[in-house]
Structure 1
Amino acid sequence: MNEVISPAGGAEPLLSLRNLKTYFGGDSGFLRAKAGTVRAVDDVSFDIARGEVVGLVGESGSGKTTIGRSILRLVKPTSGSIFFEGVDIAPLEDAAFQSYRRKMQFIFQDPYASLDPRKSVGAIITEALAIHRLGTRSERQQRVAQLLEQVGLGADAMKRYPHEFSGGQRQRIGIARALAVDPQFIVADEPVSALDVSVQAQIVNLIQDLQTSLGLTVLFVAHDLAVVEHLCDRVIVMYLGKVMEVAPKAALYSRPRHPYTKALLSAIPRVDPTRKKERIILDGDIPSPINPPSGCVFRTRCSHAIAACSEVVPEAISVGEGHTAACIRTDIM
């Protein structure tokens, strides 16, 4: 039986995923007979406590973004449960789910593509308030001005359009839009990966400050483990739709247990030149989620793989307090 690691201290989770699967293709879609079924998220379970910042990391194609989109119903899960405040929201019809949309918001990776270029910044942010029927017209204007000040742009940005702003400024607009309806939970999907390195730290620090001041719960999707180390309380490592390792930040970065996590961490640049570190190179590319390897999905790139790895789907086992890893090679953990 897979062990689900809950937040530290036994805190009551705000969000719980149980055996979540999100598949694409199969019996629907164009050229479905040739395309096959994409197992983007394949039997994932974890908890996030209220006020916690959890990093979700892995290579491109690991299923990170699909998990975030599944939670907010931007894509429809195939099966499994998504508990929010104890209610399974996965099977809810759109009308019943509407009340939860205000509680959960999304910060998109590409700040320009996610903003309507035909609308002013004020109109973009006001739209969310109007959809949820929050406040009078005057109150909405005041709220938008407050949000723009909060994200460091100023109220005068209301009358301008997205193309008039830099990438970092557009991401601040996206953050303001996500905060407009006073959500409890935010999915931040690679919010700095499309930005210049010079402004990435500013946006990460802004998210951190807002999370602290507003008491937000955040699922921070990223491939940059250095950013995750700075921002997150716990880390979930994914590969090809499955969870490989879950751990508190300090435990994961000081003593990773899964071979995949070790490889990812070995690629982080360190400023201390005296600190020797072996770089672990993964051979080949991540396999296709249409035809994933049997047994452990990581085995085709793992230097520690043995014959049994092709036959056994590894379960998550406890390797420390609040720390699990899905690997049958307990001798190397």
Structure 2
Amino acid sequence: MDHKNAQHKRRDVLLQVSNLKKYFPIRGGVLNRVVNNVKAVNGVSFNVLRGEVVGLVGESGSGKTTVGRTILRLEEPTSGTIDFDGTDIGKLAKPVMRRYRKRMQIVFQDPYASLNPREKIRTMLGHALAVHNIGTAADRDDRIVALLEQVGLSGDYLDRFPHEFSGGQRQRIGIARALAVEPEFIVADEPVSALDVSIQAQVVNLLDDLKSKFNLTMLFIAHDLAVVEHISDRVVVMYLGRIMEIAPTRTLYRAPNHPYTKALLSAVPSPDIHAKRDRVILTGDIPSPINPPSGCVFRTRCPIAIPDCAQIVPELKEVSPGQFSACIRTAP
């Protein structure tokens, strides 16, 4: 698509996702044959530039977490390409893919489930260093202490177990584990959604500081647009396995184009009590990814849908510099 070549030519592209699909087969019958598919990701294309944070947003069930996991090959892609620094890693054999694990890491959503409750922090972070041959056995404790201090924790915590920490502290440990192998690219999969509101801003600010300090490139997945605004350079909006809009953060929040983006933003509380914002109410639930609507997948909930929306699958088209929208009614 044209938008892939048009986006930010002045900077290097580290990650290029092209027509990515991830279907989960549904089996049934006596022979346990595939009878249908859950179309979790259905033709997604976007890029991430070096040193950039791209926010990936959408309601639950939009496919955003599956995109992140498929990029890292935690899920195998059904089709499409995942070009990381010039190599299509979606087609690499698993032994070869291991070499890229050091360069690509993930911060998981649930800080309670993502840490081994039976391992001390020293052991947990030490494993990450040992697997990728970082440092020597003699200096790993010093490296682990430095990692903890970088995420705002004390080196005195080395011999504690995960249950001895708060949720925010556990997420900081998860971030330290991701940073341990000195990655270039991090997928932050809803890293604050399981935390108290009072702690969320601290973790987002920490990730923002670490991004600048280590020149990290990041895909920040979230359903909360208020959180995404503060850390992202650009935002990708997903709905039911497809991309609805891509835009620089400032543009998206000031002048959203797609009706789905407008609906999401209309629900974000404004700090200005005098600000007037038209509330867009989406009726009904998000359809099943097993049998998504024909044409535009958003049409069944769209306030401006017309009959053509049931027949035409809209392509992402540039509607303003750097802003792309998949809507036959708003795109030129």
Deviations 1:89-145 (A, max 9, x none): 001011010110000000000011000000001111111111112221122111111
Counterparts of 1:50 and 1:68 in 2: how far apart (Å)? 17
Counterparts of 1:201 and 1:110 in 2: how far apart (Å)? 16
Deviations 1:35-80 (A, max 9, x none): 7201111111111100000000000000100010001111101011
Contact 1:54 1:218 in 2 (8 A): yes
Structure-to-structure mapping, 1:225-264, within 5 angstroms: 225-264=225-264
The Cα shift of 1:154 comes to 1.1
Q: Does 1:206 align with 2:192?
A: no
Aligned to 1:208, the other structure's residue is in SS state: helix
Contact 2:27 2:34 in 1 (8 A): no
Counterparts of 1:5 and 1:222 in 2: how far apart (Å)? 26
The aligned counterpart of 2:55 is 55
The aligned counterpart of 2:223 is 223
Counterparts of 2:260 and 2:112 in 1: how far apart (Å)? 33
Counterparts of 2:319 and 2:214 in 1: how far apart (Å)? 33
The Cα shift of 1:10 comes to 3.1
Q: Does 1:273 align with 2:269?
A: no
Contact 1:6 1:47 in 2 (8 A): no
The aligned counterpart of 1:137 is 137
Contact 1:6 1:13 in 2 (8 A): no
Counterparts of 2:5 and 2:250 in 1: how far apart (Å)? 15
The aligned counterpart of 2:111 is 111
Counterparts of 2:226 and 2:303 in 1: how far apart (Å)? 24
Greater mean deviation of Cα atoms: 300-309 or 128-137: 128-137
The aligned counterpart of 2:186 is 186
Q: Does 1:168 align with 2:168?
A: yes
Aligned to 2:291, the other structure's residue is in SS state: coil
2:152 corresponds to which letter in structure 1? Answer: G
Structure-to-structure mapping, 1:147-162, within 5 angstroms: 147-162=147-162
* CA-based RMSD: 1.8
Unaligned residue ranges in structure 1 (runs of 5+): none
Counterparts of 2:133 and 2:29 in 1: how far apart (Å)? 36
Contact 1:42 1:241 in 2 (8 A): yes
Q: Does 1:45 align with 2:49?
A: no
Aligned to 1:301, the other structure's residue is in SS state: coil
Deviations 1:275-321 (A, max 9, x none): 11111010011000000000000000001111110001001111011
TM-score normalised by L of structure 1? 0.96
Aligned to 1:312, the other structure's residue is in SS state: coil
Q: How many residues align?
A: 332
Contact 1:63 1:238 in 2 (8 A): yes
Contact 1:7 1:49 in 2 (8 A): no
The Cα shift of 1:324 comes to 0.3
**Percentage of identical aligned residues:** 60
Counterparts of 2:29 and 2:221 in 1: how far apart (Å)? 27
Q: Check 1:226–1:31 CA distance in 2 against 1; reply closer, same or farther (3 A cut).
A: farther
Contact 1:260 1:298 in 2 (8 A): yes
Counterparts of 1:29 and 1:226 in 2: how far apart (Å)? 45
Counterparts of 1:240 and 1:259 in 2: how far apart (Å)? 14
